[in-house]
Amino acid sequence: MTVRELRVVSYNVHRAIGRDRRCMPQRILDVLRETQADVVALQEVEARDAGADMLAWLGRELGFQAIPGTTLIRHDGHYGNGILTRFPAHTITHCDLSWRGAEPRAAIAADLEFDGRILRFVATHLGLRPAERRDQAQRLLKLFTDRPYERAVLMGDINEWLLWGRPLRRLHRYFERTPAPRTFPARMPVLSLDRVWTHPSSMLRKIEVHRSALSRMASDHLPLVATISP
C-alpha cells in the first residue's frame, strides 16, 4: 500500500453480540485491528451501556477520534452509528433519516483532512422498509450535493437485499456502481447489505470482505474493507 492509499471499513457490530450470543467488545476491537483500517463506519455500536461507552473505548484503544451518532436511546444502553478516524475531522454533521413509525435512523457526515485534502465521509444505517430506504437515499444525497465535494465516500449498512433496488438506483445518480461482496450473515454470507461507494469512482482501488475466524464470530455481519486513493 502506498502512502496515498487509505483503508476504510464499514462494519455492523451488532452491539458486540457475536454468533455465540455473548457481548464481547474486545472481539470487535481485535477484528478492527485485523483490518488495519484508517477510517471506520460502525453501525449498532453502543454509545452508552451501564456507564460504559464502547465507541469511545474503541477510539482510545485504536488511537482514533471517535464520532458518535446515537439513534436509539434505551434503558439498557444507547446505540447507533459511529465513525472512528485516525485523521482530524474539520466539520461534523448529523442528519436525521427517521421514518414515521420505524426505528430511528441517521447518518454522520464528517469532513476529514488527509494529505492536505478534505474528504467527505458519510456513515449510515438505512431502514428495513423499501419505501423508507427510498426516502432515506434521497435525503442522503443532499449531504453530497448541497455543496460540491471533489472527493466523497459513503459507507454503511444499506439494508437493501436487491442489487437493482430503487434506493440503490437513487444513490447511483451520484455514485457509480461498485462491487457488492456478500457480508451477511457472517457465518455464510448471502446478502450484500454493507456497502462502500466513492466519488469519483476512480478513487476505489479494491473492495473485499474481511473474513477471519474472529470476524465470523464477533458479529452477525462481516466487515467490508475498501482501499481508496484520494
User: What pLDDT was estimated at residue 48?
Assistant: 61
Local structure of residue 176 (DSSP, 8 states): P
Cα–Cα distance for residue pair 196/178, rounded to 1 Å: 8
User: What pLDDT was estimated at residue 76?
Assistant: 63
pTM: 0.94
User: What pLDDT was estimated at residue 72?
Assistant: 77
Would you state the cell numbers that stand for residue 106, as one nine-digit string?
Answer: 441517521
Residues of the chain by 3-state class (helix, strand, coil), percent to 5: 25, 40, 40
**14: closest CA among 134, 136, 194, 208?**
194
Query: Can you list the alpha helix ranges (DSSP code H) found in 63-165?
Result: 130-145
Residue 156 CB coordination number (10 Å): 26
User: What pLDDT was estimated at residue 162?
Assistant: 83
User: What pLDDT was estimated at residue 226?
Assistant: 98
Query: Can you list the alpha helix ranges (DSSP code H) found in the chain?
Result: 25-35, 54-62, 130-145, 166-171, 215-218
Would you state the cell numbers that stand for residue 31, as one nine-digit string?
Answer: 477484528
Average pLDDT across each block of 10 residues of the chain; the chain has 230 residues. List them in order.
Answer: 79 96 96 98 79 88 94 74 95 94 94 92 96 95 90 96 84 91 97 97 97 98 96
User: What pLDDT was estimated at residue 1?
Assistant: 41
User: What pLDDT was estimated at residue 208?
Assistant: 98
Domains of the chain: 6-228 (3.60.10.10)
User: What pLDDT was estimated at residue 2?
Assistant: 44
| Cβ–Cβ under 8 Å, residues 189 and 183 | yes
